[in-house]
């Protein structure tokens, strides 16, 4: 029984092999075209193959894209880091350039003085929010004394009102407690620049007969013993003739931009105000 | 040990006040308006009055006012006077309003802020300065009043938590928490 089964299986295998050999022997170099059977088979299996291929492609693409995106993300991070570093460098260079320009202007301005001057940096601002003063990083040990004038390349900043060994307090000309004797450059009229909140000044005691127009340059008169003569204070921005008043109502925009005050020069000149 | 911790908290309050004064000018410049005035010193005075008593708060008000006078271009003693008056105002108001609860803190600090600013203006006028306020400044002052008053409970709570954090023993912690 067992031998009969064995022989049946052997016959089937032999038949398959013979068919295969026949097919192989019948195939020639010129007969590569599909026969009807082939075509039928292809028509049936191809949709399945197509579906399978697409699925594999999709998985492959997804897989590759994922890894690709991981790389892109990494690359993006690196590039962002580089951009940030370059931006920081750029900012630093801009800062250095603007510092250089400011210091150059300050140096040019310094050379116009006969008196010795000392450069100082603004390290603190008035905490009250109402008064206008700054703290600078030079003090008594650097030769600074009370009432010394403080200027920058644009004009008058203020005067020293407090000195410690290494630091000083400077009262700005825009403070309400500040007054500077002034001169209108064009008309040569004399007056007094007083601080007016916020970041404006009033030019007081200019008589009504004086010829003042908007845009007139206001400079220090040299009187009062604190500021040397001819330093720019600002420009007239408002002129009004109020009836019943003795003097003209004049507002001045200071030459110095006090919100951007970083470096100043202290003129080491002994005050004559109280001498 | 508890007293040492209290002293440590007192020192922290002093340092915070000092830092606030030293950085306030630059901070106000950065904001673009010097009229926006969150008065942390006033809040710290009120806090110290509540937790450490009148003497400690008085020393703090005097010291911080002195520092303020030193670094500002104002008259000597102006801020010492203003902060001491503010403390007196806080002491008076705390008799009627509970400084222990947030609502009381808001009202007391707000009222003290208002009194301080009104007195400040009055003193400026008395001492010969001009008081020039634009429409925008009034709104900024009102905003400052509201922010200072509303910040009081937040600061009180933060400092209380800090006090709990520096209290080492559980017993002490329990007492502090019960107090609050």
Which tens digits make up the pLDDT trace of B31-55?
766 677 788 999 999 999 988 888 8
**DSSP letter string, A7-24:** HHHHHHHHHHHHHHHHHH
CATH code where residue B141 lies: 1.10.1760
- 154-173 of A, contacting B, C-beta below 8 A: 161-162, 169, 171-172
Average pLDDT, whole number, for chain B? 82
B150, part of any domain: yes
Is the confidence at residue A45, as pLDDT, over 70? Answer: no
B8, part of any domain: yes
Which residue would you say has higher pLDDT here, A37 or A176? A176
Of A126, A196, A198, the CB nearest to B73: A126
A256, part of any domain: yes
- pLDDT attached to residue A46: 62
Judged by DSSP in three states, B178 sits in helix
- Domain around B79: 2-29+37-167
Helix B135-166 and helix B170-179, axial crossing angle in degrees, nearest 10: 150
Domain match, A64 and A160 both:
no
Provide the number of structural domains found in chain B: 1
Q: A274 falls in which pLDDT band (50, 70, 90)? A: very low
Which residue would you say has higher pLDDT here, B90 or A41? B90
- pLDDT attached to residue A15: 76
Alpha helices in chain A (DSSP H): 2-26, 36-110
Helix H or strand E encompassing A134 = strand A133-136
Domain match, A168 and A85 both:
no
Domain match, A43 and A69 both:
yes
| B39 contact A CB<8A | no
- Mean of the pLDDT values across residues B91-117? 90
Chain A residues within 8 A of B80 when measuring between CB atoms: none
Decide if B149 contacts B41 (C-beta within 8 A): no
Domain match, A104 and A131 both:
no
- pLDDT attached to residue B178: 62
- Domain around A75: 1-111
Provide the number of structural domains found in chain A: 2
pLDDT in tens, A167-216: 888 999 998 888 899 988 888 888 999 888 677 888 989 888 888 888 88
From A83, A111, A139, the end of a domain falls on: A111
Q: How far is A76 from chain B (nearest CA, A)?
A: 34
B66, part of any domain: yes
**Dist. CA A46–CA A43, nearest whole Å:** 6
Chain B residues within 8 A of A177 when measuring between CB atoms: 73-74, 129
Q: How far is B69 from chain A (nearest CA, A)?
A: 8
B71:A135 CB<8 A: yes
- Mean of the pLDDT values across residues A248-252? 89
- Mean of the pLDDT values across residues A210-225? 86
């Amino acid at each position: 029984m067992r031998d009969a089964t064995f022989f049946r299986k052997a016959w089937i295998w032999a038949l398959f092999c013979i068919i295969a050999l026949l097919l192989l022997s019948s195939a020639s170099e010129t007969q590569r075209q599909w026969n009807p059977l082939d075509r039928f088979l292809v028509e049936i299996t191809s949709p399945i193959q197509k579906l399978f291929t697409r699925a594999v492609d999709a998985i492959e693409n997804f897989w590759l894209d994922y890894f690709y995106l991981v790389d892109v993300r990494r690359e993006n991070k690196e590039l962002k880091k580089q951009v940030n570093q370059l931006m920081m460098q750029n900012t630093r260079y801009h800062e250095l350039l603007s510092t250089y320009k400011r210091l150059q202007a300050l140096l040019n301005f310094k050379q116009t003085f006969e008196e010795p001057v000392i450069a100082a940096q603004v390290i603190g601002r008035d905490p009250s929010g109402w008064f206008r003063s700054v703290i600078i990083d030079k003090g008594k040990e650097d030769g600074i004394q009370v009432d010394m004038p403080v200027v920058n390349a644009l004009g008058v900043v203020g005067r020293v009102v407090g000195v410690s060994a290494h630091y000083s307090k400077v009262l700005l000309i825009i403070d309400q407690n500040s007054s500077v004797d002034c001169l209108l450059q064009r008309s040569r009229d004399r007056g007094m620049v007083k601080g007016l909140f916020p970041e404006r000044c009033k030019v007081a005691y200019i008589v009504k007969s004086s010829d003042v127009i908007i845009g007139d340059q206001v400079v220090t008169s040299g009187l009062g013993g604190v500021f040397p003569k001819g330093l720019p204070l600002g420009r007239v921005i408002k002129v009004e003739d109020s009836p019943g008043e003795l003097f003209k109502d004049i507002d001045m925009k200071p030459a110095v931009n006090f919100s951007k005050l970083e470096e100043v020069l202290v003129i080491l000149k002994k005050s004559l105000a109280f001498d | 040990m508890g007293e040492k911790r209290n002293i440590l908290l007192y020192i922290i309050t002093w340092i915070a006040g000092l830092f606030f004064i030293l950085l306030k000018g630059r901070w106000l410049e950065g904001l673009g308006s010097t009229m926006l005035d969150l008065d942390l010193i006033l809040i710290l005075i009120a806090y110290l009055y509540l937790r450490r008593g009148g003497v400690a708060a008085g020393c703090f008000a005097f010291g911080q006012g002195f520092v303020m006078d030193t670094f500002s271009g104002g008259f000597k003693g102006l801020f010492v006077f203003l902060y001491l008056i503010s403390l007196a105002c806080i002491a008076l108001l705390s008799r009627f309003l509970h400084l222990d609860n947030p609502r009381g803190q808001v009202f007391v600090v707000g009222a003290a802020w208002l009194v301080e600013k009104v007195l400040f203006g009055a003193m400026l006028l008395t001492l010969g300065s001009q008081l020039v306020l634009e429409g925008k400044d009034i709104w900024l002052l009102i905003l400052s009043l509201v922010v200072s008053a509303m910040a009081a409970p937040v600061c009180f709570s933060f400092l209380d938590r800090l006090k709990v954090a520096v209290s080492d023993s559980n017993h002490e912690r329990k007492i502090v928490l019960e107090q609050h």
